[in-house]
Structure formats: C-alpha cells, structure tokens
Amino acid sequence: MSDADALLQEISAYLKPQDVERVRHALEFSDIAHRGQLRLSGAPYISHPIAVARILTPLHLDAQTISAALLHDVVEDTDVTGEIIARKFGKSVADLVNGLSKLDRFKFETTEDAQAENFRKMLLAMARDVRVILIKLADRLHNMRTLDAMTRDKIERIARETMEIYAPIANRLGLSAIHQELEDLSFKHLHPNRYAVLSKALQVARGNRREMVGKILTALRQRLTRNHIPAQVSGREKHLFGIYRKMQTKSLAFSQVLDIYGFRVLVDDVPACYHALGVLHALYKPIPGKFKDYIAIPKANGYQSLHTTLFGPLGTPIEVQIRTHEMHEIAEAGVASHWMYKSARNTPINNLHQKTHQWLQSLLESLSESGNSVEFLEHLKVDLFPDEVYVFTPKGRILALPRGATVVDFAYSVHTDIGDRCVASKVNFELAPLRTELRNGDRVEIITAPHAKPNPAWLNYAVTSKARSHIRHFLKTVNFQESAAMGERLLNQALASLNVKPREIDMAAWKRLLKTTGAKSREEILADIGLGRRLNVVIARQLIPASEAMDQLPTGGVITILGTEGMAVQFAKCCRPIPGDAIVGVIKSGQGLVVHTHDCPTLRKSRGGADKWLDVAWDKNISRLFEVGVRVVVANQRGVLAKVASVIAEAESNIENVNFTSEGDYTALSFTLQVSNRKHLAEVMRRLRKLPEIIQIARVKNAVA
C-alpha cells in the first residue's frame, strides 16, 4: 500500500465520505503541483506533505487541516497562488496555508531577523487559528526525521531551533508524543555521540530490568483489584532526552537514574484517583516530597494527573502516574483533543481550550508591544519555559508562573494596570520587595498607588513575556513623549535664533517637511530631534521658506533645564552637574540632550567641538535631588563612618553609594550623595569639616577619570 492510500484509509476511519473526497482532491492537486520536484534525500517531494498529513491523522483533525497539510508548501515552492487555493479549497484552507508560508518576498538585514519575523507571522496566524501550529509541528517533525540529508551547519541550526521553540510549543499545547519525539531528534542531531552512548545503555538496562518491571506491574494490578478499583496499569519508559536532562540537572551518571521506567494507572473518575493513590502508598512506601497533585492544580497546558514516587522492591524508586481516562486523552493529544472528543460536556477539554486561547491572547499582546521581531522571539522563549510555580492571590485564585518569576511578574499576570501601578507587595502576609522570587504555594498581595509607573530596573528581574513586553512598551512610549517634548523645545530655540516664532510655522510647512523627510508625523520629527537623530537647526531652516532662511541671522537662545524631563535629558555621569553649576548641553544620537558642567574634562576631550554645544540653564524652581561625588579622607578611628553618615543625614542628604580604601592611618571614603543644589552641597561639606576626624574633603568633578 502506498503512503497516499494509507493516508486516505486512515482518514476514512473518522471523516465523512464527502470530506475524504475533499482531501483526495487536495492530495491530487499537491501531487501535480510538486511533480518533478525532489527532496534533498532524493525522494519525490510529494512524500513530505503526505507524511505531514499522516502525523496529524491520529489526532483526528478535520478535512480542512489535512488538506492544508497536503498543500502547505504549494504556494512557496510552485507557481500556485493563495487565490487559487482559496478558489479551489475554500478560504479556511487558504488562510491555514498562508499562515504557514515564509516571508520570502521581504528583505531582512540578518538571518536572525528573517527567522524571528517568520515566527512572528506564524504565531499571529496561530493566534487566529490554532490548527496552523499543529500543521507546523507536524511539518517540523517530519523534517527532523529526514534531517540527515542536510549539511552539518544546517542540521545544527534546525535542531537547536526545534529544541528552543518547537518542542516547547508542542509541550505548551499538550502534544506529548510530538513534544518528546522532537526533543529526542534534536538531542540526536545536536549531540550524536551522547545520543548513541545513552541509547545503547538504555537498551542494556531495558533487558536487565524487564523481570523487575513485570513483577511490579503484577503487584500493582493485584493490589488495585483486591481493593475493587477498576484500572488499566501499564509500564512507560522515559524518553531519551528526558533521561539526559535529568542526568544534567542532577549531575547523575546513567546508572544512578533509577526511574527510567514509570507506571501509569488509568481509572474511571477523580475519587478513584485518590483512592488508588492511598492503596499504592499502602503497598509501597512513598518517598517524602515526591508527590505532586496536578489534578487539583493542572499544568498550564491542561495536563492533569497525580504523581508519586514509591520505594519499590530492593529500594528501587518507582514513579507512578494516576489519572482518569479522560485526563489521559488530554495528556496525549492536548489541544488537539478538541477534534478527537467533541462532546460539549467534556469540561476539561473546554477548560484546556480556554487556557490555550488566553495564552494566545497574551502572545498577541507581546506581538503588538514588542519593538521588533527579535525582541518578540525573546519573549516567546521565556514564555515557553517549562517549569512552573503555583501561587495564590488574596482571594485564593491560583496563578501559574515560570520558575524564577518575581512579584512584578505576578502583578502583571493579575492585570496590566496592577503591574503598571504596583509599588510594594506582601508575600505570605509579610512586606516583600518587588524583586522577590516566588515559590510554590506563596500567597501574594500587590500594593498599588494611583500615580505609580513602571521602573526600568524591573527589566532586570521580570521574567514573563507579559511583564517584560508591557514594561518595555511603557518605557518606549514615555521615552517617545518626553523626547518629543524636548525636541519641541530644541526646535523652538533654533527658530528663535532665526527670529521666527513657532506659531508662524503653518501646517503646510509641516506637510512639506513630512513629505521631504519621509516621517509619519510631526511628533516623530520632534522625537528624533530630542533623541539627537535630527539637528534642530536643519529642521528649523527646512520649515521656513528658503528666501526667509537666508535673510535670518542666528540670535541665540537658551534651553531651560527643569529637572522633570525624564529620559529625554541625561545628566552626565562623568561630571555630575547639579543646579548652580555652569552647564552646557550636547545632543547625542539615541540619548537626547546630555548635560555637562562647562569645565568637564571628558566633554572637552570628546570629538564634538564647542560649536556642537547648546546653551542650557537651570530653572529657578527645581525641587528634585541630584547625584554628586564627594571624597572624604578621615583618620582611622572606631565609628568614624557612622559619624560621617550621621552628619550627612542631619544635613538632609541621602547616601546613594559609598566605597572606601585604607591608606595606612587614613581611609579615603568616596560617597555618591543626593543634594538639591550647590548651596545644599556646600552646607553638607561645611558640617563635615567640623568633625575632628576629617583630614580632607572635596567634590569629585570627574568621576569617570
């Protein structure tokens, strides 16, 4: 029997005759379209789409999905267009095929950008219709099975991509068999020698342990029957990469991995699961800390089961999974169980689809808020991190978060507004910082404030894609708004130097400028000026007619520093300017306006000459604090640091940082203090000089040097 006949026979077992005919039509169309094409292995190309379709038939997927699987490479590799597919097979099949087609028509700067953008397109299509990713996973699985025909560098790239992206997606959707085979094949191609050694060791162990496995199976069945629990008991073997991963994470030799074999118990209902657990714990003693209840708290992919590890004969650990038949169906088919078991009363499957839909919606949020495709791919990899912790809200709702997640991740998982406005938290009724890493069973309460906003430092410890994408999106938006405001001030200064008032620039002038520069909006040009990507003087001259620009002579203008500009104005770390210092401004590309003291050595050594400097001045009513460097040399005496810190605090200054170096009888203390202006700094230094232990004190003007 040919592969094509086998496919038609397989779908005839569950599809209606008219649906089988639709699939036959798609098969014939694909065969004609690919005629004459060969795979790298030398096999006719049609063998690949047929193999992809056959991977999907055990999941009982519908005729549209099987047809799309047969046609998934037609648009990419032949002259057939999406319009032809839609006309012959319907819009749904055409949409599925389109979601699987790469973006070959576009030019990307790097291979990584192209790869990331292809993932982005595929996952956008997946969010609309989950069947896209089911076909893509089957496509990737068959490609992995036939990877040997490729060059070594391509093999490694595809295998790594499969291990990092596709296998975790299969796991996230609950497709157990596909997930495990993708991991094993990736392992085989990435580490061929390790795979070969481990595979041989497993075959030897399988023979040595066959008798013991048989005895344990018999004992489990007899004990369950004696307690009147109808059950199917079977042995299961860990997949090869699962064994390798356990050896890696726990630093074990193969001989120390005793739970290569596990046992699965399938019962009729949930009470029977817990009854069976008690019976088996009476047969073999449970190992403390090795019990997990995924029935009460299911995994994010809908997986439900009781896991326990027992002391078996001769002290051998036995892993046992106990679940209902329905839970087993979901564990094996995951989100695809929707097509296998369509009963509306099948609540767990409905819940699984709801969770999958929520996950896809969060992917869409990350998709819309990511600045670029590579950033989105980073979010996706984080989101697919398999290990999870389960934490509780104050009302008892359970949230699943990746291992390593912090309070910030929890806040964003509750709601975006909660995350944006969180200022503190209580973990298990005690105040805890936002960077606190959460553990299983923690009860977390978020404290918010109306005017709070995300902090850039959160990116250092937020791990979930939702939290990171929202924080980045907020910072980019704020940065854009602040840069546009600063750009407007810089442009107004340039216009003033040309004796032109801003209100004299009409909309027609702005429209001409937008057409000339290719910018999308006035705000974009202003933000570019604020970030140093465009020169304010150049834009000013472009906004006024050429004849007028020639007649104007620059008259100068000063930009006032308010201290509230946010990220649009940076205060140079090299000289740490504070109100009262004579200052100059420099526009740096991507950073905006950077303020230095007028005598900053670093500024004078930089490439930009004095003609690139801007006139800036402090506003008279600045109320914020600024960082300043102070070096204090003290005599080595007990408690001197405490005395110095006390005087600084009494002068209403904060110590941001302190370092010290001992030099014989003296110690040099380097402080970073927060002060409001030069007068405040002078008051702090005056009070410090009164201490008898102080030998020398000075402001550090060139901190970098």
Decide if 631 contacts 697 (C-beta within 8 A): yes
DSSP-derived 3-state class of residue 520: coil
Decide if 262 contacts 320 (C-beta within 8 A): yes
Q: How far apart are CA 382 and CA 378, in angstroms?
A: 6
Decide if 307 contacts 319 (C-beta within 8 A): yes
Q: 597 has which bridge partners? A: 583
H or E, element range at 119: helix 111-128
Dihedral-angle region of residue 532 (phi above 0 means left; psi in -120 to 50 means alpha; beta otherwise): left
DSSP-derived 3-state class of residue 132: helix
Q: How far apart are CA 498 and CA 549, in angstroms?
A: 7
Q: How far apart are CA 583 and CA 649, in angstroms?
A: 28
**DSSP label of 164:** I
SS3 content of the chain, % helix, strand, coil (to 5): 55, 15, 30
Residue with tokens 């079977």: 234
> For 676, how many CA atoms within 13 A lie in the half-sphere containing its CB?
11
One-letter amino acid at 59 equals: L
Which is the catalytic residue, given 21, 77, 112, 417? Answer: 77
The tokens describing 341, both together, are 């078991």
Instruction: Give catalytic status of residue 627 as yes or no.
Output: no
Beta-carbon neighbour count of residue 255 at 10 Å? Answer: 8
Which residue from 381, 345, 317 is spatially nearest to 123, judged by alpha carbons?
A: 381
23 Cβ partners below 8 Å, 6+ apart? 7, 8, 11, 15, 53, 63, 66, 67, 70
Q: 320 has which bridge partners? A: 263, 308
In DSSP notation, 239-295 reads -HHHHHHHHHHTT--GGG---SEEEEEEESSHHHHHHHHHHHHHHSPBPTT--EETT
Decide if 401 contacts 410 (C-beta within 8 A): yes
Instruction: Give catalytic status of residue 77 as yes or no.
Output: yes
**DSSP label of 38:** B
Q: Please report, for the chain, how many H helices and E strands are present, in that order.
A: 29, 19
H or E, element range at 217: helix 192-226
Residue with tokens 């749904």: 92
Which is the catalytic residue, given 21, 28, 76, 615? Answer: 76
Q: How far apart are CA 347 and CA 605, in angstroms?
A: 71
Quick one: CA dihedral 421, 427, 433, 437, positive or negative? Answer: negative
The alpha helices in 587-677, defined as continuous H runs, are 601-605, 640-650
Residue with tokens 């960082």: 627
Dihedral-angle region of residue 489 (phi above 0 means left; psi in -120 to 50 means alpha; beta otherwise): alpha
Residue with tokens 């086998």: 6
The residues annotated with a catalytic role in the active site are: 76-77
